[in-house]
Amino acid sequence: MVTGDSMAVKPGLGLVLDCHDPKALAPFWAAALDYVSLGSVGNYVVLVPDARPGPKLLLQRVDEKKTAKNRMHMDIEVADIESLAGRLEQLGGRRTGKGVEAEHGSRWIVMDDPEGNEFCVCDGGAGEP
């Protein structure tokens, strides 16, 4: 049973990304999100926003390989999607879609990180209809 007192603490959001090599993947995601690393311990690397609010990203080492499409993915929202996608390609990311996609006034590029985890670089609805 949930009481009024238990709702006084507001939930936060932390993201966890399973990966083979968190230390190797951390520079990619830090650059992609403009995050900084708080360091690593054991099987984990913690990334946080650089002097702004936002969820932490925990890179977690797992032994099993990725075998299917992610059930949930991140959208990195920026005005210039081509510029960011190009920079992420230089860091080891890869475009996987059919170029720039558009729907309902939003534009995006589907990509994989260096370990094959899907994400999108999107304009957050600032694109043309």
What is the three-class DSSP state of 98?
strand
Residue 129 has a pLDDT of 45
**Rounded distance, CA 82 to CA 99, Å?**
10
Give the pLDDT confidence of 98-121 residue by residue, as tens digits: 899 999 999 999 999 999 999 999
Instruction: Say if strands 118-122 and 74-77 run parallel, antiparallel, or are unpaired.
Output: parallel
Give me 6's structure tokens: 């238990």
Greater model confidence, 100 or 65? 100
* Residue among 46, 34, 16, 19 nearest 116 (CA): 19
pLDDT, average across residues 33-46: 96
**What domains can be seen in the chain, in order of their start residue?**
12-63 (3.30.720.120), 73-129 (3.10.180.10)
* Half-sphere CA count of 74, side-chain side, radius 13 A: 17
What is the pTM (predicted TM-score) of this model? 0.85
Instruction: Say if strands 56-61 and 14-19 run parallel, antiparallel, or are unpaired.
Output: parallel
Q: Residue 56 forms beta bridges with which residues?
A: 14
